[in-house]
Amino acid sequence: MRNVAIIGVGMTKFGERWELGLRELMAEAGAKAVSDAGIEGKDIEAIYGGIMSAGRLIGQEHVGALIADFMGLTPIPSTRVEAACASGGLALREAYIAVAGGAYDIVVAGGAEKMTDVFTEQAAVTLGGAADQEREVFHGATFPSLYALIARRHMHEYGTTEAQMASVAVKNHANAAKNPLAQYQHEITIEDVMRSPKVAEPLKLFDCSPITDGAAAVVLASEDVARKFCDAPVWINASAQASDTLAVFDRRDMTTLNASVVAGRKAFEQAKLSLRDVQVAELHDCFTIAEICAVEDLGFVKKGEGGPAMERGDFALGSKLSANTSGGLKGCGHPVGATGIKQAVEVVWQLRGEAGRRQVPAEVGLTHNVGGSGATAIVHILSREVR
């Protein structure tokens, strides 16, 4: 396998982007990434685009071809990748495999979603398709209610409190307020979260990531090409993927996303690094309990200690491990197909020292992207050095 680097990144402002359609969002992010890489369109050999549900959200299928067409990149191959909320992470992984395996030298991996063109209820039904339709959604389950079940069990098993979950939202909003591309530009308090309307008890409105429009893109290159175009490439040291049961109630332990456990372990083995080597991590916080589970499942704290760690501020900006410096899904926004790519963009900016007011000292970063309630998990480890 060849060494692979990210040589260019770009993303749009996340939020309710009424003025732009899906194709315009994708084109903006792609153009920024290509410009950042210092390449031209003719240099790109393939595209992998993470899109969860353009068919149901905007009535557009065949999105891979749309990307190549609208960006003037035909006839190069352009492939749509879908893994629910992990679609972006999987697009990055597929692009990595293509370059590492020698099929291509320069590839663009992108992700996008246009979610606000439909009513909230329709978006919720669409997102529900990432759960087990026949065994969960048909009986009334929604994604907030599934994660509420995880939260309730976590509270029962480990004494996790609603205030500890709220501290995740407070941290991520504080980071988002320092990110000009984030959906939310304001800080919140524990009291704000606790007073917000209940969605699926114990989860409240401010425990939940928002419905978002946005796109992000990265340019990947083989080592020899990367060194030609880029003075400071960011290297992908590991790319790992794992799966679990689609239905939450089929799992051995409702509070553990086993796909995250396995993907994380494989990634660290591949990178030949330890947890102590990571200074910045973009974790999948679709709900506040999800980030608590993530730090436990990846091994940053022991099972059951995620809540107290969040309450102490162990993962705040500038900590030994700064988690979700972008604002995460909660503060930066969650255009589902784009999230996994946005995570990589943020880590690249951190490793290059280009993260502005949210910059932390970092040599190694991690991204953790989850599909659905944990049926898919993808972990990437990036660094400033080839390993």
Question: Per-residue pLDDT tens for 346-380?
Answer: 999 999 999 999 999 999 999 999 999 999 999 99
Domain assignment present for 132: no
CATH code, domain with 351: 3.40.47.10
217 and 204, same domain (yes or no): no
Q: For residue 325, what is the enclosing H or E element? A: none
* Residue 127, pLDDT score: 87
202 and 307, same domain (yes or no): yes
Once rounded to an integer, what is the mean pLDDT over residues 160-184?
98
Domain assignment present for 129: no
* Residue 256, pLDDT score: 97
217 and 362, same domain (yes or no): no
Residue 387 has pLDDT above 80, yes or no: no
Residue 286 has pLDDT above 80, yes or no: yes
* Residue 336, pLDDT score: 97
Question: Per-residue pLDDT tens for 62-101?
Answer: 999 999 999 999 999 999 999 999 999 999 999 999 999 9
Which domain range does residue 229 map to?
4-118+211-234
Considering its fold, how many domains does the chain have in total?
Answer: 2
Once rounded to an integer, what is the mean pLDDT over residues 36-42?
95
pLDDT band, very low/low/confident/very high, at 306 (cuts 50, 70, 90): very high
270 and 229, same domain (yes or no): no
Express as a percent the part of the chain with pLDDT over 90: 92
Cis peptide bond prior to 202, omega within 30° of 0: yes
334 in active site: yes
* Residue 120, pLDDT score: 87
Catalytic residue among 173, 284, 334, 380: 334
177 and 301, same domain (yes or no): yes
Question: Per-residue pLDDT tens for 100-137?
Answer: 999 999 999 999 999 999 888 888 888 888 889 899 98
Q: For residue 148, what is the enclosing H or E element? A: helix 143-158
* Residue 215, pLDDT score: 98
Catalytic residue among 85, 208, 230, 286: 85
Domain assignment present for 177: yes
* Residue 304, pLDDT score: 97
Contact 51, 67 (CB under 8 A): no
In this structure, are strands 234-243 and 198-200 parallel, antiparallel, or unpaired? unpaired
208 in active site: no
Mean pLDDT across the chain: 96
Is residue 197 classed exposed, middle or buried when 0-12, 13-18 and 19+ CB atoms within 10 A define those classes?
exposed
Burial 330-354 (b: 16+ CB within 10 A, else e): bbbbbbbbbbbbbbbbbbbbbbbee
226 and 96, same domain (yes or no): yes
Both tokens assigned to 202: 């114990």
* Residue 279, pLDDT score: 98
8 and 92, same domain (yes or no): yes
Domain assignment present for 353: yes
Task: Scan for tokens 């309730």, then name that residue.
Answer: 152
187 and 315, same domain (yes or no): yes
177 and 111, same domain (yes or no): no
Q: Say how many residues make up the chain.
A: 387
Domain assignment present for 182: yes
